[in-house]
């Protein structure tokens, strides 16, 4: 999976280190905003919070929000009461509105619109020079206008009137204008469900084929009016551009080029891969807000791609065209059987779980995503489910994961564009509401997003991913496949999908091929509600023998997640693999490690700086691995913990020693605790060294809740 590119709009290279304090409104177009010095961040954030509190608690006024439809509602002017969720509003239909722009032309962005109102009033109105400084008003008759009366924060209009007086260095002023833009944008977007309720009611009674449900794409420009002030509201940055789209590069604006003429020419001389146009349609439909259609098109693209790839594969394997048709007939009504047929013939496994630095992507399986998206498509097509305009995130996930699946299916499509290179720029042109919307019985309410408190820790993406890693061995989130992929990523071991799972034995669910330098290993990830039994061990051995017929030099790694339904403290840790099973697996020179052992060792790398190379090597070394921290020897077991004195009692094994200054590691339920021996006693007397067998009291920073009798104690080897 390719990583997302950096944003197209970037900080000038010669700027000082700091954060820009606004995104969106800029007093001087093309001029970068000054950076806030790092030492001013805390005070600036305090001022911002104070501004937010004052602004959101300020006076409300009743204003009018108006939007022009891209078609006519062929009904008389009038008012319609509409309900969405528990909120009722009244919409006014107006058929004879005029828009006046400050000439000499009417821009498609409507950024130079100065008056919007009933035609009779506007036409006879004398326009002051303050509204039309060019003295060249341009009049444009509008299609049907729908207006809503809403309570709006009064400062929105005062800020809008004075926005041109704000300078590049006025941080508070820029924040104020951006707050107004976000507020208006969110409020107008929140009214679209009512607008669609009006349109669908009109369509149902008129059967007008020219009217359709709308999204931000269809109604990207709204107007808010209060008194003599008209504020233009833009819902999609794409429609705000009256000139070629561009981005900031230093102190200049540079046109953004999404592809080259040469690339277009090459593609024009080639065939588009089957299914790609449907996927491109899905993206376009999603960006236009037609979410249900986007889901349908995405699934269709995958179905087309699978049939095409399977057809080509069968032809390459010597099937006649008639034979291909007959083969495809067998799976006509079962898409997943067709997909499994493709996997077995191609010996390619559907990717997953995917590894990403983005928490909500990390761990995604394309097979389960495909099943989810197909179910969503079923609801849209067969149950008439309408995907709400606020479900953009759901649709985005559906379309993107299907695109990743398409890339996997059609990897030989050399002429396709890099699907990620323009992602950020195109997303910026789409835009989305920033603030929070609540639909209440009292009306539509727009409110600020909750900000973290000063003493509230901010959770980073790395911390979230670490939590995901820890959860892979929890009873409620058992996922040995993700544990393995993340472990290999941490250890910088290359990991690829292995051959498809054998249909006759579902216990061999997920397999990988890992490699490091000149070493290669086939990986089995096994999950059990109990301990691994001999039947599973025999199945692994037989599968390994089949695999080694063509890959004789590969080693074998078996990761066992045992007793997965239990809490960790209830699981067997001393002997989770019986001698018989270990002996059977060793007959094929397999490396055997439990999921809990492997995770505990990896956490020790993070916490204690243990050797990555040692752990990496162990995964290619036959036999039972992961039972010892790297560089440690087993010296004894926990006997008891005395919390009043913070002393850990250790049953030191015969022939083992512990010395003051040595480093010990205690195997806890889910990790290792490492510390230096600073004080210890034998039979109540302080000693510098203890020889087993004996009981040794060691001062420890552990807590009583950490320690359980029988936990293993390791000491650093010389």
Q: Domain with 510 in it: what CATH number?
A: 3.40.91
- What is the per-residue pLDDT for 259? 92
Do 715 and 672 contact (CB within 8 A), yes or no? no
* Spans in the chain with pLDDT lower than 50: 1-23, 413-417
What is the model's pLDDT at position 36? 82
What is the DSSP secondary structure assignment for residue 661, as one 8-state letter? Answer: T
Q: Quote the distance between the C-alpha of residue 497 and its chain's center.
A: 22
Is 527 found in the same domain as 404? no
Residue 11 in any domain: the answer is no
What sign results for the dihedral spanned by CA atoms 186, 188, 190, 192? Answer: negative
Helix (H, G, I), strand (E, B) or coil at 462: helix
Crossing angle, helix 291-316 and helix 335-346, to 10 degrees?
A: 40
Q: What are phi and psi of 193, to 5 degrees?
A: -55, -35
* Bridge partners of residue 79, in order along the sequence: 92
Looking at the structure of the chain, the number of domains it has is 4
Identify whether residues 89 and 233 lie together within a single domain: yes
Q: Is the peptide bond before 533 cis (omega within 30 degrees of 0)?
A: no
Q: How many Cα atoms occupy the beta-carbon half-sphere of 41 within 13 Å?
A: 8
H-assigned helices in 317-415: 321-330, 335-346, 366-382, 392-409
**Residue 17 within a domain:** no
Q: What CATH number is associated with residue 670?
A: 2.40.30.10
How far is residue 367's CA from residue 1's CA, in Å, rounded to a whole number? 15
Which range marks the domain in which residue 317 is found?
261-421
**Is 436 a member of any domain?**
no
Residue 474 · residue 326 · CB < 8 Å: no
For residue 154, what are its two tokens?
Answer: 């009064």
Among candidate residues 600, 624, 648, the one where a domain is terminated: 624
- Residue with structure tokens 């191609």? 346
Measured distance CA(499)–CA(364) in Å, rounded: 19
* Separation of alpha carbons 532 and 526, rounded Å: 8
Structure tokens at 153: 């924060």
Question: Does any domain span residue 52?
Answer: no
Contact of 682 with 639, CB cutoff 8 Å:
no
* Paired tokens of 392: 């953009």
Same domain? 614 vs 669? no
Q: Residue 717 CB: number of other CB atoms within 10 A?
A: 11
- Clarify whether residues 489 and 415 are in a common domain: no
Q: What is the pLDDT of residue 412?
A: 54
Sign of CA dihedral 44, 46, 48, 54: negative
Are residue 618 and residue 651 in the same domain, yes or no?
no
Q: Are residues 651 and 702 in the same domain?
A: yes
Is residue 430 one of the residues assigned to a domain? no
Give strand pairing partners of 66: 147, 223
- Is residue 452 domain-resident? no
What confidence score (pLDDT) does residue 20 get?
33
Q: Quick check: helix, strand or coil at residue 264?
A: helix
653 and 620 housed in the same domain: no
**Are both 221 and 287 inside the same structural domain?**
no
Report the pLDDT value the prediction gives residue 5, as an integer from 0 to 100. 31
Query: What distance lies between CA 245 and its chain's CA centroid?
Result: 27
Tokens 């095409």 -> residue: 308
CATH number at residue 403: 1.20.120
Run of H or E residues at 696: strand 694-699
- Among the candidates 607, 624, 641, a domain finishes at 624
Is pTM beyond 0.85? Reply is: no
User: At 115, which helix (H) or strand (E)?
Assistant: strand 113-118
Give the DSSP H or E segment for 65: strand 60-68
Alpha helices for 140-191 (secondary structure H): 155-161, 171-190
Please check whether residue 101 lies inside any domain of the structure: yes
Coil/strand/helix, residue 273:
coil
Q: Is residue 43 part of a domain?
A: no
Question: 10 Å Cβ neighbour count for 617?
Answer: 14
């Amino acid at each position: 999976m390719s990583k997302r590119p950096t944003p197209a709009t970037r900080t000038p290279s010669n700027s000082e280190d700091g954060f820009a304090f606004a995104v969106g409104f800029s007093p001087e177009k093309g001029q970068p905003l000054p950076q806030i010095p790092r030492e001013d961040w805390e005070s600036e954030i305090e001022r911002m919070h104070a501004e937010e509190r004052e602004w959101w608690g300020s006076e409300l006024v009743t204003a009018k929000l108006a939007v022009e439809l891209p078609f006519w509602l062929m009904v008389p002017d009038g008012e319609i009461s509409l309900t969405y969720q528990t909120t009722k509003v009244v919409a006014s239909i107006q058929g004879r509105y005029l828009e006046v722009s400050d000439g000499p032309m009417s821009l498609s962005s409507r950024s130079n619109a100065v008056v919007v109102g009933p035609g009779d009033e506007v036409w006879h109105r004398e326009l002051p020079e303050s509204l039309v400084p060019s003295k060249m008003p341009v009049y444009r008759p509008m299609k049907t206008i729908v207006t809503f009366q809403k309570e709006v924060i009064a400062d929105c209009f005062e800020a809008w009137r004075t926005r041109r007086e704000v300078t590049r260095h006025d941080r508070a002023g820029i924040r104020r204008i951006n707050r107004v833009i976000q507020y208006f944008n969110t409020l107008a977007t929140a009214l679209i469900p009512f607008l669609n309720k009006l349109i669908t009611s009109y369509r149902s009674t008129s059967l007008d084929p020219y009217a359709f449900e709308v999204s931000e794409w269809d109604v990207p420009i709204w107007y808010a009016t209060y008194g003599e002030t008209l504020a233009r509201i833009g819902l999609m940055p794409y429609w705000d551009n009256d000139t070629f789209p561009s981005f900031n590069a230093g102190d200049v604006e540079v046109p953004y080029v999404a592809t080259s003429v040469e690339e277009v020419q090459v593609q024009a001389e080639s065939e588009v891969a089957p299914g790609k146009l449907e996927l491109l349609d899905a993206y376009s439909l999603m960006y236009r807000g037609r979410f249900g259609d986007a889901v349908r098109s995405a699934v269709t693209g995958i179905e087309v791609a699978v049939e095409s790839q399977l057809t080509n594969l069968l032809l390459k394997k010597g099937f006649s065209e008639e034979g291909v048709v007959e083969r495809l007939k067998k799976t006509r009504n079962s898409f997943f059987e067709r997909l499994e047929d493709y996997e077995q013939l191609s010996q390619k496994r559907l990717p997953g779980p995917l590894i990403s630095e983005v928490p909500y992507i990390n761990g995604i399986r394309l097979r389960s995503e495909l099943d989810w998206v197909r179910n969503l498509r079923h609801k849209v097509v067969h149950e008439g489910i309408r995907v709400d305009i606020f479900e953009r995130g759901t649709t985005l996930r559906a379309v993107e994961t299907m695109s990743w699946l398409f890339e996997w299916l059609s990897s030989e499509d050399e002429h396709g564009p890099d699907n990620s290179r323009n992602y950020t720029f195109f997303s910026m042109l789409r835009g989305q509401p920033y603030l929070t919307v609540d639909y209440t019985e009292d009306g539509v309410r727009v409110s600020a997003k909750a900000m973290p408190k000063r003493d509230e820790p901010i959770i980073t993406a790395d911390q979230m991913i670490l939590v995901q890693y820890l959860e892979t061995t929890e009873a409620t989130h058992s996922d040995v496949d993700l544990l393995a992929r993340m472990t290999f990523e941490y250890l910088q071991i290359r990991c690829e999908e292995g051959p498809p799972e054998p249909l006759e034995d579902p216990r061999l669910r997920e397999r990988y091929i890992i490699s490091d330098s000149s070493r290669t290993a086939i990986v089995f990830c096994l999950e059990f509600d109990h301990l691994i039994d001999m039947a599973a061990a025999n199945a692994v051995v037989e599968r390994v023998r089949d695999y080694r017929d063509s890959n004789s030099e590969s080693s074998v790694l078996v990761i066992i997640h045992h007793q997965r339904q239990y809490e960790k403290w209830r699981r067997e840790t001393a002997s989770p693999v019986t001698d018989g099973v270990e002996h059977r697996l060793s007959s094929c020179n397999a490396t055997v490690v439990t999921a809990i052992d492997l995770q505990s060792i990896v956490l020790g790398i993070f916490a204690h700086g243990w050797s990555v190379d040692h752990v990496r090597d162990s995964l290619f070394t036959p036999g039972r691995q992961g039972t010892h921290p790297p560089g440690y020897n087993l010296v004894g077991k926990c006997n008891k913990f005395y919390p009043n004195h913070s002393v850990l009692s250790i049953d030191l094994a015969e022939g083992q020693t512990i010395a003051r200054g040595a480093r010990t590691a205690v195997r806890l339920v889910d990790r290792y605790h490492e510390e230096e021996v600073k004080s210890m006693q034998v039979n109540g007397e302080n000693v510098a060294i203890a020889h087993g067998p004996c009981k040794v009291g060691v001062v420890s920073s552990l807590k009583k809740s950490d320690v359980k009798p029988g936990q293993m104690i390791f000491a650093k080897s010389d």
